[in-house]
């Protein structure tokens, strides 16, 4: 690592990107610029930039003078490539996120460090660095063609190996396939390591400013949604009210994943046919669904106000009873089948039969569909928890056997 490039910054930036329930991911995964119907996945670029910034910032090493000139030359090339990786990642983060906030990387046209002048033109630091990158290894032997004033056709330049005769400064000889061009523009080219570090540090630290733009973008989107009234037809049944709210939540991006797993489970419950249950269990299910109705106004509030707080009402959709804790493994296998609604497997069936034999579930559960069984299990668990609330001891642990792994793995979960 290099002290001027602090890894804490890219970690802070990652945390900012994932704030507000992954707002940036939701906003850019299907980004539609103005007047553009077709969306683009900009999120993939943002992920790539963050990944390579983490790698480069934590792995970059300042090149040192080595007794082996060949090794020194290669290490310096590697250093330049890593600097380029950081600069490109920062620039593309600005391109990706900046388009939504009408902002650009502030140092694109800066020339405060190198003050480079090549081929009779003043170069920005960005453009001059690309020449350094080319000369010191990336395109050293390619002879990239350059159109120069006074020359009838393009001229190619080539580099010697690089070396260092001065502490912190590297040099090389720039040749050309045109002797006149070599006399005028070739010769010795030098660059100081400290100048390169200043160049990359200045750009890397712009992530602080980009984080400010992320905050502003979130607040702008949140305010816009808060000022856009939700539609809810209270004359509809619970299922259709939830479908109406969920559809609007999906369209609003910021709220599309708020409690999504719970909402999908609740809608799945509301879709079940209560005639599939016998009278005793039907009454238990009805009482459970009645308690779940309180989710609707809470979900409405969450979407309308873009409210990120934790809401206890969703605990109703968790398994919470002591009976569940005492039969955790069997319930986990049965719920695995019931949640997916797929064909019951032998292992799941054995667990279901054990719960029936213990009297925890009625015997006709074997004939219920996955969704109906899923609802019944939750309803019975809710009933048990109301009658005899579970007391969770401090530092209570649950051991889960992952029998899919080979060999099986025992996972310890602290509650």
Contact 241, 297 (CB under 8 A): no
Q: Rounded to whole angstroms, how far apart are CA atoms 190 and 289? A: 75
Contact 136, 172 (CB under 8 A): yes
Residue the block writes with tokens 């249950």: 277
Q: pLDDT tens digits for the chain (415 residues)?
A: 899 999 999 999 999 999 999 999 999 999 988 766 788 999 999 999 999 999 999 999 998 777 788 888 899 999 999 999 999 999 999 999 999 999 999 999 999 999 999 998 999 999 999 999 999 987 777 777 889 988 989 899 999 989 887 778 999 999 999 999 999 999 999 999 999 999 999 999 999 999 999 999 999 999 999 999 999 999 999 999 999 999 999 999 899 999 999 999 999 999 999 999 999 999 999 999 999 999 999 999 999 999 988 999 999 999 999 999 999 999 999 998 898 765 566 668 899 999 999 999 999 999 999 999 999 999 999 999 998 777 766 555 555 555 544 455 555 554 4
β pairing state of 169-176 and 163-166: antiparallel
| Closest CA relative to residue 13, chosen from 51, 59, 45 | 51
pLDDT at 414: 47
CB-based burial label for 55 (10 Å; 0-12, 13-18, 19+): middle
Q: Rounded to whole angstroms, how far apart are CA atoms 300 and 331? A: 32
β pairing state of 145-146 and 169-176: unpaired
pLDDT at 402: 53
pLDDT at 292: 98
Report the alpha-carbon angle 409-412-413, nearest 5.
Answer: 135
Q: Rounded to whole angstroms, how far apart are CA atoms 270 and 173? A: 76
Contact 191, 169 (CB under 8 A): yes
How many H-runs (helices) and E-runs (strands) does the chain carry?
Answer: 16, 9
Q: Full-prediction pTM beyond 0.85?
A: no
Report the alpha-carbon angle 156-159-163, nearest 5.
Answer: 165
Q: Rounded to whole angstroms, how far apart are CA atoms 232 and 301? A: 11
């Amino acid at each position: 690592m290099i002290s001027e490039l602090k890894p804490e910054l890219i970690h802070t930036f990652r945390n900012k990107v994932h704030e507000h329930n992954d707002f940036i991911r939701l906003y850019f995964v299907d980004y539609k610029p103005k007047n553009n119907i077709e969306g683009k996945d900009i999120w993939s670029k943002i992920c790539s930039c963050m990944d390579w910034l983490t790698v480069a910032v934590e792995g970059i090493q300042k090149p040192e003078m080595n007794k082996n000139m060949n090794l020194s030359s290669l290490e310096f090339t590697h250093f330049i490539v890593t600097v380029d990786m950081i600069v490109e990642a920062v620039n593309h983060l600005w391109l990706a996120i900046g388009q939504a906030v009408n902002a650009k990387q502030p140092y694109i046209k800066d020339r405060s460090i190198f003050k480079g002048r090549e081929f009779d033109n003043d170069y920005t630091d960005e453009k001059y660095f690309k020449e350094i990158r080319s000369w010191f290894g990336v395109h050293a032997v390619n002879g990239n063609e350059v159109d120069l004033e006074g020359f009838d056709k393009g001229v190619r330049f080539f580099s010697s190996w690089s070396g260092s005769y001065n502490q912190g400064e590297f040099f090389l000889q720039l040749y050309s396939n045109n002797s006149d061009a070599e006399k005028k523009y070739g010769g010795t080219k030098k660059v100081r390591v400290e100048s390169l570090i200043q160049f990359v540090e200045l750009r890397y630290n712009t992530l602080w400013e980009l984080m400010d733009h992320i905050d502003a973008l979130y607040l702008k989107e949140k305010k816009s949604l808060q000022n856009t009234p939700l539609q809810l037809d209270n004359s509809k049944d619970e299922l259709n009210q939830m479908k109406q709210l969920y559809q609007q939540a999906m369209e609003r991006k910021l709220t599309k994943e708020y409690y999504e797993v719970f909402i999908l489970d609740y809608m799945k419950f509301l879709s079940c046919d209560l005639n599939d249950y016998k009278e005793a269990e039907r009454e238990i299910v009805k009482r459970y669904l009645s308690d779940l109705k309180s989710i609707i106004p809470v979900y409405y509030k969450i979407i309308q106000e873009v409210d990120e707080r934790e809401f206890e009402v969703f605990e109703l959709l968790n398994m919470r009873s002591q009976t569940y804790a005492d039969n955790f493994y069997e319930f986990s296998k049965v719920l695995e089948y019931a949640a997916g609604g797929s064909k019951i497997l032998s292992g799941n069936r054995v667990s279901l039969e054990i719960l029936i034999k213990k009297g925890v579930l009625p015997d006709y559960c074997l004939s219920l569909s996955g969704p109906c069984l899923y609802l019944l299990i939750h309803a019975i668990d809710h009933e048990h928890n109301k009658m005899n609330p579970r007391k969770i001891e401090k530092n209570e642990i649950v051991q889960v056997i992952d029998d899919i792994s080979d060999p099986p793995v025992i996972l310890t979960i602290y509650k």
